[in-house]
Amino acid sequence: MHTVQQLKSGALQGVKRLSLAEELTELPIEILSLADSLEILDLSNNKLSNLPKELAQLTKLKIIFASNNQFETLPEVLGECKNLEMVGFKNNQIKQVPANSLPHKLRWLILTDNEIQTLPVSLGERPRLQKLALAGNQLTELPQSMAKLENLELVRISANQLTKCPDQLLALPKLAWFAFAGNPFCQTDIQVDSVPTISSNSYELQQLLGQGASGVISKASWIENKLALPGEIAVKVFKGEVTSDGYPQDELNACLKVGCHPNIVKPLAQVNEQDYLALVMELIPEHYKNLGLPPDFDTCTRDIFSDGFSLSIKQITKITEQMREVFQHMHNQQVCHGDLYAHNTLFDEQANIIFGDFGAASMYHMLSKQQQAQIKQIEQRSLDYFIQDLESISRN
């Protein structure tokens, strides 16, 4: 994190990445002193509602983050930034997205958790767009022009007000990761009771195991185990608000609909209380490790791996066979995972895998037969990419 004082004093001359969070209401004009170097600008967690037109003078700027501010309109100056590729304005109060606010080199657009009702036709005129996050808005339809986005690979449109399935997306040739739950077009009254409902007083949370967009996972111990469930448990307590993937309740429902499979995290019970939603799961043994790491700025949609990490052909073959079975099991239950990645997969030395994180999952049994087939085909691409990524780190 940097300071405005450092910026004004010239102490940041030549930096490629600048992060400012000082409850700013306007961007210091001294930022222009970084025009020859600045590539990443993080203005998250301020009180900004607009950006100066001079921002376009930052000709090397590739990435801008401005989450948790007070923007009501996506700034039009962004469209004038010639090399800007990634725009992240999560959790503002954005209602308007002007047609000329979208950079022509746009690859990655994050507008999660705003108040957007419509998007401009110009969105479909950004041919480099690969990743689009729009969950938690008030969209009632999507531009038909999006049918032209032939490089679009990941889309999050969960938790909106879409009344029709966006067919213009289903036929996109590269779309592989698709989350759409929590919209009127896929609303369902299905009640999944594959696991019992218990009280949050039945267990005590212990050490933190991990956390993501939708919740926090902790190891837990039983206080009262009336149902004689397994003793070793983990509990995922969902966050109460919309996440980058959608509503927590949709995640829970999709996870329960998928049910049990040897290579999927096993659900044991659910907690559904006022302001408290949780999933009790079988504890994964400690010797399991993450198979991959999430995409970075450069890869955009594709996983990365730790330096020096590799797998034998035998290990890759075994992992692939298990993931194919997981894929088929999920789609037999008419659930699209939406986030089929190595970074959501755990593995051990014998190449056994456990797959989880249903934050982007969507049930699709209510869609037409053609739409169902297209949804499965979309996720088939993510499975193909998963296999390609593993093959890229194979060793003889």
User: Residues marked as binding for ATP?
Assistant: 236
Three-state secondary structure readout of 108-172: EEECCCCCCCCCCHHHHHCCCCCEEECCCCCCCCCCHHHHHCCCCCEEECCCCCCCCCCHHHHCC
Q: What is the dihedral of CA 367, 369, 370, 375, to 10 degrees?
A: 60
**Nearest to 141, CA basis, from 111, 118, 115, 169:** 118
Taking residue 34's Cβ as centre, other Cβ atoms within 10 Å add up to 21
Say if residues 301 and 177 touch (Cβ distance below 8 Å).
Answer: yes
Residue list for the binding site: 236
Inter-residue contact 354 to 346 (CB < 8 Å) = yes
Burial class (CB in 10 A: 0-12, 13-18, 19+), 29: exposed
Are 126 and 148 a contacting pair, CB within 8 Å?
A: no
Distance from C-alpha of 301 to C-alpha of 130, rounded to nearest angstrom: 7
How far apart are alpha carbons 294 and 117 in whole angstroms?
30
Q: Please say whether the beta carbons of 114 and 94 come within 8 A.
A: yes
| Residue 188 and residue 249 in contact, taking contact as beta carbons nearer than 8 Å | no
Residue with tokens 């967009």: 213
